[in-house]
Amino acid sequence: MPARRSLAEEFASEAQEIAAWRRELHMNPELGYDLPRTAAFVADKLRAFGCDEVVEGIGRSGVVGLIRGAAPGPSMGLRADMDALPILEASGAPWASRAAGRMHACGHDGHTAMLLGAARRLARERDFAGRVAVIFQPAEEGGAGALAMVRDGLMERFEIAQVFGMHNLPGAPEGAFLMRPGPIMAASDQFDIAVEGRGGHAALPHACVDPVLTAAHVAVALQGVVSRAVDPLEPAVVSVTGIAAEGEAYNVIPARARLRGTARSLSEPVRALLEARVHEVARNVAAAYGAEARVDWTRGYPVTVNAPAPLALAARAARDVAGAAMVDEAAPPLMGAEDFAYMLEARPGAFIFIGAGDSAPLHNPAYDFNDRIIPAGCAYWLALTRRALPPHG
């Protein structure tokens, strides 16, 4: 008797077609909420698959397909992101971006294609008890599209009880699954610091209050926030990513300088501590040099936190697909940010990674999604649905 095919092998015959969808999306990247071609592509596929409902325009340009199982039961959400990045592509792939200055440098084209592949099977087989909402989200890259969809009633409209997300991860073994309980990705906040000094002639520095010198000392002092104010066992990052001063003359000390940067953390107490300390350090260092500093702090995406029960389902589904040896259930967290965090604030759920193998890193001009992981990614969504909504309880 021939051995039973694995879930991933079941998608092997469909992988080439799904990869073609992915490459079509890759050639035509769109940014933020402005996704008319991408959203239409997704909605047309979902209708062709026979989804019971296809709703467009949730969270401005999100698309949701609803698939009812063979028996009644609870509802779950499976989410993929659709937007690209404002980067000039240098992958050299035959399906490289046709839009100058825009590219799918984070693999959202692959995420969308894999969830479409799973949606087709779910709509065809319906071997689960309950309802599955396949969620295609805009504006993950800085636009908080997940929050827009939540505020637009996503969870209530589709009665979603738990929600799941997945992201590809270059450098991790191809087709492996990585996850962890609790925080898995960081909160990301931004700060702008305006330093006010007193300008004058560069030959008379004693008659000036030099904002350039002050800004330099503020930048150095901020590097002590994590090393001296945060518990060494708590992950945190404060990075100054830009310094600029007014004026271009060599012999003029300007009156103002600015710094910008980012702060990242994996807990709300540390997040609040970073904000307070950046304000205090900037203000006090500036005062020591006779200047003034004003900090504008902008809160970004919150911490992405996995709930225990949904994560256990995700782990079992990943083992169903790849085997225990290819599932890391205690992977280290990443200090990047992910707006799926907003969906996890609205409903319990889990966010995991699928290894993309040896490739260029995310957000790199040379990056391209690894189509070889498509069968495993599609199979994960199918296995997760069967685990979360078993047809016989």
44 belongs to the catalytic site: no
CB-based contact 8:176 (threshold 8 Å): no
pLDDT digits 0-9 by tens, 61-76: 999 999 999 999 999 9
CB-based contact 317:387 (threshold 8 Å): yes
Task: Provide the residue ranges of all domains of the chain, joining segments of one domain with +.
Answer: 7-185+303-388, 190-300
CATH code for the domain defined by 7-185+303-388: 3.40.630.10
With cut-offs at 50, 70 and 90, classify the pLDDT of residue 246: confident
Structure tokens at 81: 């992101």
358 belongs to the catalytic site: no
Summarize the annotated binding site as residue ranges.
Answer: 106, 108, 141, 167, 363
- What's the pLDDT score for residue 393? 55
What is the mean pLDDT of the segment spanning 111-120? 98
Fold that domain 190-300 belongs to in CATH: Alpha-Beta Plaits (3.30.70)
What is the mean pLDDT of the segment spanning 384-388? 97
Summarize the annotated binding site for Mn(2+) as residue ranges.
Answer: 106, 108, 141, 167, 363
Average pLDDT, the chain: 97
pLDDT digits 0-9 by tens, 319-347: 999 999 999 999 999 999 999 999 999 99
Q: Please state the pTM of the whole predicted model.
A: 0.95
- Strand stretches in the chain, DSSP E: 53-58, 62-68, 71-81, 129-137, 160-169, 177-178, 182-185, 187-196, 200-201, 236-245, 252-253, 256-265, 292-299, 304-306, 327-328, 349-355
pLDDT exceeds cutoff 80 at 209: yes
30, 81, 83, 89: which is the annotated catalytic residue?
83
pLDDT digits 0-9 by tens, 144-153: 999 999 999 9
With cut-offs at 50, 70 and 90, classify the pLDDT of residue 247: confident
With cut-offs at 50, 70 and 90, classify the pLDDT of residue 160: very high
30, 81, 109, 140: which is the annotated catalytic residue?
140
- What's the pLDDT score for residue 9? 85
CB-based contact 327:176 (threshold 8 Å): yes
